[in-house]
């Protein structure tokens, strides 16, 4: 009796915690581990670069200075210049914008779309709609992801928005599968049964009672996917099928570096380092996030 | 004959222990063989049913893939013929392309033509070169298959050895090597690794060829080194970490403790009884690896100018050669679907504990 009442009180307390408090708890738990802390700091640096690019960058990223082309690292141009004499450091800082934009844009688009379809399919388990959605997921999952993204960009034409759409389209079934599997277990819980018994509408049950309770694995997946999206954006841009030049993107910088690989090694090394840096950041952060959202591992 | 009664009993006992350990201690209470036998029978029946369903499910999925590929041309903004030929096309050329690709017909008729062609193994002809798409595919597929198989085989061998050895002998620097390798794998996507390798080994210290696939056996091997390293470096780290983690788990399992209690040599415990169960997760990711490798091969083949499937697809995108693009994606997808099918089914056979719904 005593244990049940404390359980209820604890549950009530956790329910009364606001979003901000929940997020603070999660962040504290990520920062407790060394890897999570480093990852968070790296991501904070990336976000800062993306937000404050015009103030942080020493030069205009598109300002050309042909006389100074292929300059090595030096005092005026800290990281050197590219084949048009544009400042590499400024272009890398501006490149953060594209990376962050694509990572967050593609991941949120695909997760919203995928989770919604997955939850609705899971809620209607065994019905025709469920099978149709599974079929849809399996079709998209059949393609090697980057090749499908390539095809979609080829059809829609290369641009920032189309890259986000293509990447989101290739990733949504993975969120859908997770959301569906989670929904199957959550919909059998007492609180969902109670809501059904009270005669709540299915859409309200889905949005209010199921979706918030299946988000933990989805959020872990979000963290890991962001790294993938950054890679693929630069990959597509490297192939000339992503963001259009002269926009500063790490992939485009690599493309130009590849063209002039014989002349100046620095034009490849710096964007490669920027990508490596962001990969490590996202990977450490998502690892910390996974531990923070898993109650079993959190208290280890 | 030569074995005494006592020796025979000892041998039987050894056989039994050996069998139980190979099963990873999963075979249940050892005294009730009848129960075990019926359980195994039931299990294999469930496995067969699952495999059958899994194989059947491939067909509707592939039909969906064909529909999606077909609709890609349909979703082209504007007129497909103009999109293929570019803005300076003459009306005659547009008409020719339209009739060649059946673009002047209605949607269902075009879909019919498309499916009929696929059923006959005809993937159409390239808009530009006039070669049949299937012959282009066969040529390119060999190069990509060689690259993918070499990469996966070498990476799996190195990764499993590193991971297992690091878990068994924790005092050696191997686990440090594994950590560095997996960090490299995380930090360097395959195309970035390819560019850096090219920079170091083709430009700065020019000892390895930068372009092409080579001719003759040794030349081909030499041409494979850099692309396979670029593709495989991440896999070595990933597979090593995976094997390491699962090996550490398995070495703590009860049946390994039992093996130690039977005074079986440490080496055979580790490499025979533990490794067999520890590589199960590694085997499963290899199936998924085929898809990632096909994707990664796109970049690596472009960077090292290897005439493989990935380069064919990207070149088709540049040239707006839609029949080649559709055919290339179809071939890559079918390969990926088959690899996943194989991985799913083999997983069930390697790990009988898995539950299916």
User: Model confidence over B235-244: pLDDT tens digits?
Assistant: 888 888 888 8
Which of B199, B295, B337 lies nearest to residue A142, judging by beta carbons?
Answer: B337
A246 prior amide bond cis, ω within 30: yes
Position B18 confidence tier, pLDDT thresholds 50, 70, 90:
low
pLDDT of res. B273: 78
pTM to 2 decimal places: 0.81
- CA B289, distance to chain mean position in Å, is 4
SS3 B132: strand
Give the C-alpha distances (Å, rounded to integers) separating B144 from B4, B104, B117, B342, B354: 59, 35, 24, 19, 33
Among candidates B112, B96, B92, which has minimal Cα distance to B104?
Answer: B96
Tokens describing residue A58: 């020493």
Q: Which residues between 274 and 313 in chain B have a beta carbon less than 8 angstroms from any beta carbon of chain A? A: 291-292, 294-296, 298-299, 302-303, 310, 313
In angstroms, rounded to a whole number, what is the distance separating the alpha carbons of residues A292 and A221? 13
Position B1 confidence tier, pLDDT thresholds 50, 70, 90:
very low
In angstroms, rounded to a whole number, what is the distance separating the alpha carbons of residues A98 and B44? 52
Q: Residue A34 contacts by C-beta under 8 Å, 6 or more apart in sequence?
A: none
Tokens describing residue A258: 């590849």
Q: Is the CB of A147 less than 8 angstroms away from the CB of B298?
A: yes
pLDDT of res. B32: 62
Q: Which residues between 138 and 197 in chain A have a beta carbon less than 8 angstroms from any beta carbon of chain B? A: 138-140, 142-148, 150-152, 154-157
Bridge partners, residue B132, by sequence: B125
Question: Which residues of chain B are within 8 Å of residue A259 when distances are taken between CB atoms?
Answer: none
**pLDDT of residue B157 exceeding 90:** no
Looking from the CA of B66 toward its CB, the CA atoms found within 13 Å total 17
**pLDDT of residue B27 exceeding 60:** no
Q: Is the CB of A261 less than 8 angstroms away from the CB of B195?
A: yes
pLDDT of res. B83: 65
pLDDT 10s digit of each residue in chain A, 300 long? 444 445 554 554 455 556 677 777 777 777 777 778 888 888 888 888 888 878 877 777 777 777 777 777 777 777 777 777 787 788 888 888 888 999 899 999 999 999 999 999 988 888 888 899 999 998 998 888 888 998 888 888 888 898 999 999 999 999 998 889 888 888 888 888 888 888 888 888 888 888 888 888 888 888 888 888 988 888 898 888 888 878 888 888 888 888 887 777 788 888 888 898 888 888 888 888 887 777 666 555
Residue found under tokens 């068994």: B168
B141–chain A nearest CA distance, Å = 15
**Residue B86 Ramachandran class (φ > 0 left, ψ -120 to 50 alpha, else beta):** left
Q: Is the CB of A258 less than 8 angstroms away from the CB of B188?
A: no
Report angle CA A112, A117, A119 to the nearest 5 degrees.
95
Q: A130, A187 in Cβ contact below 8 A?
A: no
Tokens describing residue B315: 């070149």
Distance, first Cα to last Cα, chain B: 51
Residue found under tokens 């841009």: A237
Position B106 confidence tier, pLDDT thresholds 50, 70, 90:
confident
B72–chain A nearest CA distance, Å = 7
Query: Considering only B76-85, B254-263, B275-284, B322-331, which range has the smallest mean pLDDT?
Result: B76-85
Question: Which residues of chain B are within 8 Å of residue A262 when distances are taken between CB atoms?
Answer: 203
Q: A267, A260 in Cβ contact below 8 A?
A: yes
A231–chain B nearest CA distance, Å = 7
**pLDDT of residue B15 exceeding 60:** yes
SS3 A147: helix
Residue B245: burial class (beta carbons within 10 Å; 0-12, 13-18, 19+): middle
Tokens describing residue A9: 């009180």
């Amino acid at each position: 009796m005593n244990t049940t009442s404390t359980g209820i009180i604890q549950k009530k307390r956790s329910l009364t915690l606001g979003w901000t408090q929940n997020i603070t708890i999660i962040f504290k738990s990520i920062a407790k581990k060394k890897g999570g802390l480093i990852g968070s700091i790296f991501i904070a640096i990336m976000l800062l670069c993306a937000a404050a690019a015009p103030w942080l960058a020493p030069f205009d990223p598109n300002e050309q200075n042909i006389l100074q082309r292929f300059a090595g690292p030096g005092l005026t141009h800290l990281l050197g210049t590219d084949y048009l004499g544009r400042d590499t450091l400024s272009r890398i800082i501006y490149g953060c914008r594209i990376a962050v934009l694509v990572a967050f844009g593609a991941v949120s688009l695909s997760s919203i779309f995928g989770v919604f379809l997955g939850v609705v399919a899971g809620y209607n388990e065994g019905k025709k709609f469920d099978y149709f959605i599974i079929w849809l997921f399996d079709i998209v999952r059949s393609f090697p992801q980057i090749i499908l993204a390539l095809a979609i960009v080829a059809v829609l034409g290369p641009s920032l928005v189309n890259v986000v759409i293509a990447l989101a389209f290739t990733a949504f079934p993975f969120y859908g599968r997770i959301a569906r599997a989670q929904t199957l277990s959550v919909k059998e819980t007492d609180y969902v049964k109670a809501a059904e018994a009270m005669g709540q509408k299915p859409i309200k049950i889905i949005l209010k009672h199921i979706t918030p309770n299946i988000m933990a694995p989805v959020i872990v997946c979000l963290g890991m996917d962001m790294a993938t999206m950054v890679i693929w954006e630069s990959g597509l841009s490297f192939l000339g099928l992503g963001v259009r030049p002269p926009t500063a993107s790490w992939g485009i910088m690599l493309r130009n570096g590849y063209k002039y690989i014989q002349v100046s090694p620095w034009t490849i090394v710096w964007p490669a380092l920027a990508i490596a840096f962001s990969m490590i950041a996202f990977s450490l952060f998502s690892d910390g996030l996974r531990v923070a959202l898993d109650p079993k591992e959190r208290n280890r | 004959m030569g074995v005494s009664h006592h020796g025979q009993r000892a041998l039987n006992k050894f056989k039994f222990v050996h069998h139980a350990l190979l099963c990873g201690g999963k075979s249940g209470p050892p005294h009730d063989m009848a129960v075990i036998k019926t359980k195994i029978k039931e299990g294999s029946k469930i496995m067969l049913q699952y495999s059958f369903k899994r194989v059947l499910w491939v067909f509707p999925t592939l039909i969906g893939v064909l529909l999606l590929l077909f609709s890609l041309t349909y979703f082209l903004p504007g007129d497909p013929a103009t999109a293929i030929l570019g803005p300076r096309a003459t009306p005659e050329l547009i008409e020719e392309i339209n009739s060649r690709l059946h673009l002047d017909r209605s949607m269902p008729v075009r879909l019919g033509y498309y499916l009929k062609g696929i059923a006959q193994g005809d993937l159409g002809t390239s808009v530009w070169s006039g070669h049949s798409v299937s012959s282009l595919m066969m040529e390119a597929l060999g190069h990509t298959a060689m690259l993918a198989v070499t990469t996966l085989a070498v990476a799996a061998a190195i990764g499993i050895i590193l991971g297992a050895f690091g878990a068994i002998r924790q005092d050696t620097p191997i686990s440090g090597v594994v950590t560095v390798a997996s960090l490299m794998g995380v930090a360097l996507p395959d195309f970035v690794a390819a560019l850096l390798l090219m920079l170091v080994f083709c430009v700065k210290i020019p000892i390895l060829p930068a372009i092409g696939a080579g001719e003759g056996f040794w030349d081909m091997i030499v041409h494979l080194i850099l692309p396979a390293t670029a593709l495989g470096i991440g896999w070595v780290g990933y597979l090593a970490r995976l094997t390491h983690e699962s090996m550490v788990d398995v070495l703590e399992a009860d049946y390994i403790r039992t093996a130690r209690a039977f005074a079986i040599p440490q080496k055979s415990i580790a490499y025979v009884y533990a490794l067999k169960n520890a590589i199960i997760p590694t085997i499963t990711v290899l199936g998924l690896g085929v898809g990632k490798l096909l994707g990664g091969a796109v970049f690596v083949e472009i960077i090292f100018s290897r005439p493989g499937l990935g380069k064919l697809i990207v070149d088709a995108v540049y040239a707006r050669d839609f029949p080649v693009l559709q055919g290339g994606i179809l071939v890559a997808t079918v390969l990926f679907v088959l690899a996943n099918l194989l991985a799913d089914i083999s997983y069930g056979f390697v790990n009988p504990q898995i539950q299916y719904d």
